[in-house]
Structure 1
Amino acid sequence: MEFRCIDECSQCCIEREYYPTKEFGKIGVLILPEEKSRIEKLAKENNIEINILPRIGISEDRNSNPTKILAYQMMGIEKNGNTCPFLDTSGKNKSPHGGFPCKIYKERPLACMTYPLIENDPITLDQKCKFCKEHKTADENLNSEIESLLKIKEKMITNATFIWRFATSIGEKEDQAVLKSGWILEE
């Protein structure tokens, strides 16, 4: 089965999830350090306000904050963290598959190019994706997604002693009491 977006779907650009647990808040679109300034420039050119937070950091000392950031995350525009700021939800145009178009599609982050692929060996697709729910698997038309995922994985390789995750404190209103903010050391 060849992967393709489901007609009129923009779910992956709208819905954000809690990861790794609810206390960390919702995660944004993964942005590599070398992508950050380009994404900020694209936002400025499109007159779009974005919020980029750290996502994964490393250090050699467990008693200090990270000394290097491996990845950032671009948060959604809604208070609950949903909806990518580059998703054109108010325009009349639609994407080729009928969903909302991305204003930076040709220059989108590697993480967006990777989706719905979450693992390359064996091929594992995100089961929250509507295509994946309907078809369970895809074995064709994933070459660019695999290439993008491998680039991201390469950037995540580290010999650092400590890995940190950034808690966004962003989530649904009913979850505010459990949400944390700032760096949390992975144990």
Structure 2
Amino acid sequence: MLILPEEKEKIEDLAKINGLEISVLPRIGISENGESSPTKILAYQLMGIESNGNTCPFLDTKTSDRSPHGGFPCKIYNKRPLACMTYPLIESEPITLDQKCKFCKEHGTADKNLNSEIESLLKIKTKMTTDAPLIWRYATGIGEESDTSQIKTGWILEE
């Protein structure tokens, strides 16, 4: 899950309150030159609890409770980051719905909350806009076991 710099400390505090150990890694950085690494972080990545990086640590998979859509409830729903508020929108051209979203599959739409989700996505886009000439992405080294030979770790300069 993408976390903006101003959300990072809040997420770390929420993890402590909920007795969770989380891993937050850099995700996107910028710099004026490509000699070493980013000089500023635009976004972080909250890693999931599975070995492949999936399943948010704030998803309460141990409860018998269910969210209004039938899934596991979020422990921090009212304080969730902007990226969570955009779900199930996927930023692409054009913006689409996540095909893995159970609610979207079953109902064919997510129109009820679409305006607030689009608003959250626009807030993220505004915060991620930069004039910096170089964009860096952080490779977490985490992924599907079958892709181990292709998985990289560390900062990678976009071309």
Global fold match (TM > 0.5): yes
Cα deviations by residue, 1:98-142 (Å, 9 ceiling, x for unpaired): 211110011111101001122498553223323444555554431
Structure 2: unaligned runs, 5 residues or longer: none
Distance change in 2, residues 1:122/1:129 (3 Å): same
Counterparts of 1:112-123 in structure 2, within 5 Å, are: 112-119=84-91, 123=95
Which residue in the other structure is 2:155 paired with? Answer: 183
Indicate the RMSD between aligned Cα atoms, in angstroms. 1.9
Q: How many Å separate the matches in 2 of 1:77 and 1:156?
A: 26
For the pair 1:53 / 2:21, whether they are aligned, the reply is: no
Q: How many Å separate the matches in 2 of 1:98 and 1:44?
A: 27
TM-score by length of 1: 0.78
Q: How many Å separate the matches in 2 of 1:166 and 1:87?
A: 24
Counterparts of 1:22-61 in structure 2, within 5 Å, are: 29-61=1-33
Instruction: Measure how far apart 1:79 and its partner are.
Output: 1.1
Q: How many Å separate the matches in 2 of 1:92 and 1:133?
A: 23
For the pair 1:76 / 2:48, whether they are aligned, the reply is: yes
Would you say the 8 A contact 1:110–1:148 is kept in 2?
yes
Please state whether the residue corresponding to 2:113 is helix, strand or coil: coil
Which residue in the other structure is 1:66 paired with? Answer: 38
Please state whether the residue corresponding to 1:142 is helix, strand or coil: helix
Please state whether the residue corresponding to 2:136 is helix, strand or coil: strand
Q: How many Å separate the matches in 2 of 1:92 and 1:132?
A: 22
Q: Which has the higher contact order (CA 8 A, sep 6+)?
A: 1
Q: How many Å separate the matches in 2 of 1:165 and 1:48?
A: 26
Would you say the 8 A contact 1:58–1:67 is kept in 2?
yes
Would you say the 8 A contact 1:127–1:136 is kept in 2?
no
Instruction: Measure how far apart 1:170 and its partner are.
Output: 0.4
Structure 1: unaligned runs, 5 residues or longer: 1-28
For the pair 1:109 / 2:81, whether they are aligned, the reply is: yes
Q: How many Å separate the matches in 1 of 2:64 and 2:18?
A: 17
Would you say the 8 A contact 1:80–1:171 is kept in 2?
yes
Q: How many Å separate the matches in 2 of 1:175 and 1:101?
A: 30
What is the count of residue pairs matched by the alignment? 159
What's the % identity of the aligned pairs? 75
Instruction: Measure how far apart 1:97 and its partner are.
Output: 2.2
